[in-house]
């Protein structure tokens, strides 16, 4: 009997944000692959092997997982957030495309999860309530001018913008440069939300304005949401504001 490969999203970090479907798919797996800190979020299960690897080795991890599935194991590749958004499902598909023909015959299934921007948005109100985009600031695999062009296009067209991979040791200046580009196109009061480690003990959500948005508020565990010209801030006495993008966003452009 041939093996099976599940690519599973476990959400942004809170255990109650893992879907029952993902829990079940993990439970029936013989082998778990993933970035160490994601695997560490899952309770150990008897007889289940763990294969932790570094975050920068996505393609090698995908190939190792496919190889083991081809040997007949039930393999789970674990992603934080959603498996399909800037995560392991694309790496698995890429490995299949360029790998041995046998991998195309494998039973491969992707189990979706809550991606970070949804959890961050929920904390702030409804900033993704209307047309939005999700953009990775990582320039490992695409050149910076492509990223800059997408930022300009999205802001000019009135999309709310969720920024993934905003900053890292190897990527120290990109978020500041992204804010500089967006300041040329968007009003200074445009709301910016920094959502760090949402649902975990280290959670910190900061709501500020584009004019004063400080890249130092972001780290590798942060998703940043930049509003559109239609995004509103509703102040509340003694409570954090509600940030939302009205269903009519764009009617005024």
Binders of a copy of itself among residues 117 to 156 (CB under 8 A) are 118-119, 121-123, 125-136, 141-143, 146-147, 149-150, 153-154, 156
State yes or no: residue 229 binds a copy of itself (CB under 8 A): no
Kind of pairing, strands 107-111 and 4-9?
parallel
Distances (CA, A) of 27 to 47, 49, 71: 11, 12, 19
State yes or no: residue 97 binds a copy of itself (CB under 8 A): yes
Q: Which is nearer to a copy of itself, 211 or 234 (CB)?
A: 234
Q: How far is the CB of 42 from a copy of itself (least distance, A)?
A: 15
Q: Phi/psi class of residue 213: alpha, beta or left (left: φ > 0; alpha: ψ in -120 to 50)?
A: beta
Q: Which is nearer to a copy of itself, 170 or 214 (CB)?
A: 170
Angstrom distance (rounded) from CA 104 to CA 121: 37
Q: Are 186 and 229 in contact (CB under 8 A)?
A: yes
Q: Out of 42, 64, 108, 218, name the contact with a copy of itself by CB under 8 A.
A: 108
Q: How far is the CB of 34 from a copy of itself (least distance, A)?
A: 16
Contacts (CB under 8 A) with a copy of itself, residues 181-200: none
State yes or no: residue 55 binds a copy of itself (CB under 8 A): no
Residue 108 has, within 13 A of its CA and on its CB side, a CA count of: 24
State yes or no: residue 227 binds a copy of itself (CB under 8 A): no
Q: How far is the CB of 19 from a copy of itself (least distance, A)?
A: 5
SS (H, E, C) 209-253: EHHHCCHHHCCCCEEEEECCCCCEEEEECCEEEEEECCCCCCCCC
State yes or no: residue 85 binds a copy of itself (CB under 8 A): yes
Distances (CA, A) of 166 to 40, 68, 178, 180: 23, 33, 9, 14
Q: Which is nearer to a copy of itself, 85 or 218 (CB)?
A: 85
Q: Out of 51, 74, 171, 232, name the contact with a copy of itself by CB under 8 A.
A: 232
Distances (CA, A) of 58 to 50, 52, 79: 16, 11, 10
Q: Out of 40, 104, 170, 220, name the contact with a copy of itself by CB under 8 A.
A: 104
């Amino acid at each position: 009997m041939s093996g099976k490969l599940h690519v599973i999203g476990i959400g942004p970090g809170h255990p109650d944000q893992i879907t029952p479907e993902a829990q079940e798919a993990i439970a029936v797996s013989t082998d778990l692959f993933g970035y160490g800190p994601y695997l560490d979020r899952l309770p150990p299960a008897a007889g289940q092997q763990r294969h932790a690897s570094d975050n920068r080795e996505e393609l090698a991890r995908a190939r190792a997982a496919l190889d083991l599935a081809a040997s007949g194991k039930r393999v789970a590749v674990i992603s934080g957030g959603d498996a399909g958004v800037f995560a392991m499902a694309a790496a698995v598909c890429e490995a299949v495309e360029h790998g041995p023909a046998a991998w195309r015959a494998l039973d491969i299934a992707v189990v979706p999860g809550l991606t970070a921007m949804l959890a961050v948005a929920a904390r702030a109100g409804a900033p993704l309530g209307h047309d939005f985009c999700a953009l990775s600031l990582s320039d490992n695999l695409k050149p910076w001018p492509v990223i800059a062009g997408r930022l300009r296009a999205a802001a000019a067209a009135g999309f709310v913008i969720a920024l993934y991979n905003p900053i890292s040791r190897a990527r120290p200046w990109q978020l500041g440069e992204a804010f500089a580009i967006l300041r040329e196109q968007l009003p200074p009061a445009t709301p910016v939300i920094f959502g760090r480690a949402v649902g975990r003990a280290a959670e910190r959500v900061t709501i500020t304005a584009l004019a004063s948005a400080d890249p130092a508020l972001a780290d590798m565990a942060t998703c940043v949401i930049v509003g559109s010209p239609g995004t509103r801030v509703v102040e509340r006495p003694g409570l954090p504001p509600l940030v939302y993008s009205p269903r009519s966003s764009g009617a005024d452009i």
